Homo-oligomer: A and B are copies of this chain.
Amino acid sequence: MKILVKDADIFNGKEFIGNGLIAIEDGTIIHCGSGSLPDLWKPDEIIDGNRLLALPGLINCHTHAGMTFTRGYADDRPLMIWLNDYIWPLEARLTADDIYWGTMLGISEMLASGTTTFADMYFMMHRAAEAVKESGIRAVLSTGMIGLGSGVNEKLAQSVDFAVNWRGEADGRISTMLAPHAPYTCPPPFMKKVLDKAEKHQLPLHIHLAETRNEIEEIEKNYGKTPIEWANDLGVFNHPTLAAHCVHLSSEDMHILKEKGVGVAYNPQSNMKLASGTAPVAELSRLGVKVGFGTDGPGSNNSLDMFFEMKAGALLQKLAVNRAEVLPANEVLAMATSTGADILGLKDVGMLKKGMKADLILVDMDKPHFTPTFDPIAHMVYSGKGSDVSFTIVNGKILYEKGVFRTIDVEEVKQEVHIRAKRLIKG
């Protein structure tokens, strides 16, 4: 399959490179930018890129896609009431089929709003993996593990089995991690077992760290250290690590994250909605820590639209440090694309250039809210919305085009989720 995008303006994942051609063959970008193609190269499909902006597909670095079932279920409640009385009881009733349909719904929303890769931490992940495989999206999947209570070793074994069996599947679109949930749910003896498995199977780690003030207090009380120090002292960061949230950080914590090359998933809207706090992303960025964006689960956001996330995340940093010039649009868009891919350990996506996998989106710039067009990059961050995405392409396949899904029966998906949601709230 050969696709040619003609005359599009291009943001390559790091910077705006002007107008050019993008040629895709067998899932790979074989040309991107100015210049021309060999006369003999004949595309199967041509996309007229006039008034479209091409950019790498957005990378959602932290979510729980199956939580679509909790979207709008119990908003505006204090965190512990929200979790104890609503979210956890509902989640306890989720079946493997629910996970499949809930994840497929999340994938539908993500493809329609320009996300081509998501990092997911949830449970019964083999069903999430099936949804990824069928839909054509790219994902980094992990089973969230609680190291408390009974059956812990069995859960770890299942989690490792999933990670080992599914990595590289779906034409390489699936990669996997091990996901100990958080410092307050994973005691050190359990963490040591997890790290042994990570070492043995060469699996990266995905963990929630330093999300709430409560967590900081609890870890300080139990271990006399910060969550980042706790993780570092256990040796977590000797493995490639994706650390979600990192809201409450000491100066020393930030240096540890930098020194150890930890990737941080910044989830501004979830952190605001749950009143968790403001991650010091402007400072992390200044120090050179790699930060990508995550939406967190649809229960605490309640959207998987990365355009919202970029805008809220940029604006929040300007407010937090009282400087309008921090986190400029180009940096934000790079975080949501090339840096996001980097912190997920994906070497062949996140940039539009020759040899990379063809994961890209085409955004319709011919809208009132993109007029005038002094700066298309600023428009992506400050004026854009997921609905501006005209084409979503993953691994060289067009999965979504102007409201139409090519691999998903979205009517069936919505219907299934509506029916299942009614069952889930009845208990």
A86 to chain B, nearest CB (A): 10
From A123-131, A218-226, A249-257, A267-275, the one touching the partner chain is A267-275
Are A79 and B324 closer than 8 Å at their CB atoms? yes
Complex Cα distance, B108 from A82, in Å, reads 39
0/1 interface trace, chain A 130-170, chain B, CB 8 Å (1 if under)? 00000000000000000000000000000000000000000
From A174-182, A343-351, A354-362, A368-376, the one touching the partner chain is A368-376
Are A418 and B372 closer than 8 Å at their CB atoms? yes
Are A105 and B371 closer than 8 Å at their CB atoms? yes
A106 to chain B, nearest CB (A): 8
Known: A318-B272, A324-B78, A374-B425. A301 touches B368 (CB 8 A): no
Q: Which of A79, A112, A373 has the most CB of B within 10 A?
A: A373
Is A391 in contact with chain B by the CB < 8 A criterion?
Answer: no
Complex Cα distance, B108 from A205, in Å, reads 47
Is A304 in contact with chain B by the CB < 8 A criterion?
Answer: yes
Are B78 and A323 closer than 8 Å at their CB atoms? yes
A419 to chain B, nearest CB (A): 9
Are A275 and B323 closer than 8 Å at their CB atoms? yes
| A387: chain B residues within 8 A (beta carbon) | 385, 387-388
Is A84 in contact with chain B by the CB < 8 A criterion?
Answer: no
| A326: chain B residues within 8 A (beta carbon) | 76
Is A312 in contact with chain B by the CB < 8 A criterion?
Answer: yes
| A371: chain B residues within 8 A (beta carbon) | 68, 71, 105, 414, 417-418
Classify the secondary structure of A's interface with B: helix
Are B272 and A319 closer than 8 Å at their CB atoms? yes
Is A390 in contact with chain B by the CB < 8 A criterion?
Answer: no
Known: A272-B318, A385-B305, A425-B374. A109 touches B311 (CB 8 A): no
| A75: chain B residues within 8 A (beta carbon) | 328-329, 375, 378, 382
Closest to A110 in B: B368
Known: A77-B325, A324-B274. A302 touches B68 (CB 8 A): no
In the complex, which of the residues B72, B308, B319, B410 contacts A277, with contact meaning CB atoms closer than 8 Å?
B319
Is A30 in contact with chain B by the CB < 8 A criterion?
Answer: no
Are A372 and B417 closer than 8 Å at their CB atoms? yes
A57 to chain B, nearest CB (A): 17
Are A382 and B414 closer than 8 Å at their CB atoms? no
Are B275 and A324 closer than 8 Å at their CB atoms? yes
Q: Which of A69, A78, A273 has the most CB of B within 10 A?
A: A273
| A425: chain B residues within 8 A (beta carbon) | 374
- Please list 6 pairs of residues, one from A and one from B, whose beta carbons are closer than 8 Å in the complex, sorted by A's number: A72-B372, A72-B375, A75-B328, A112-B368, A273-B315, A298-B383
Chain A residues engaging chain B, CB cutoff 8 angstroms: 68-69, 71-73, 75-79, 82, 105, 108-109, 112-113, 269, 271-275, 277-278, 298, 301-305, 308, 311-312, 315-316, 318-319, 321-329, 366, 368-369, 371-375, 378-379, 382-383, 385-388, 410, 413-414, 417-418, 421-422, 425
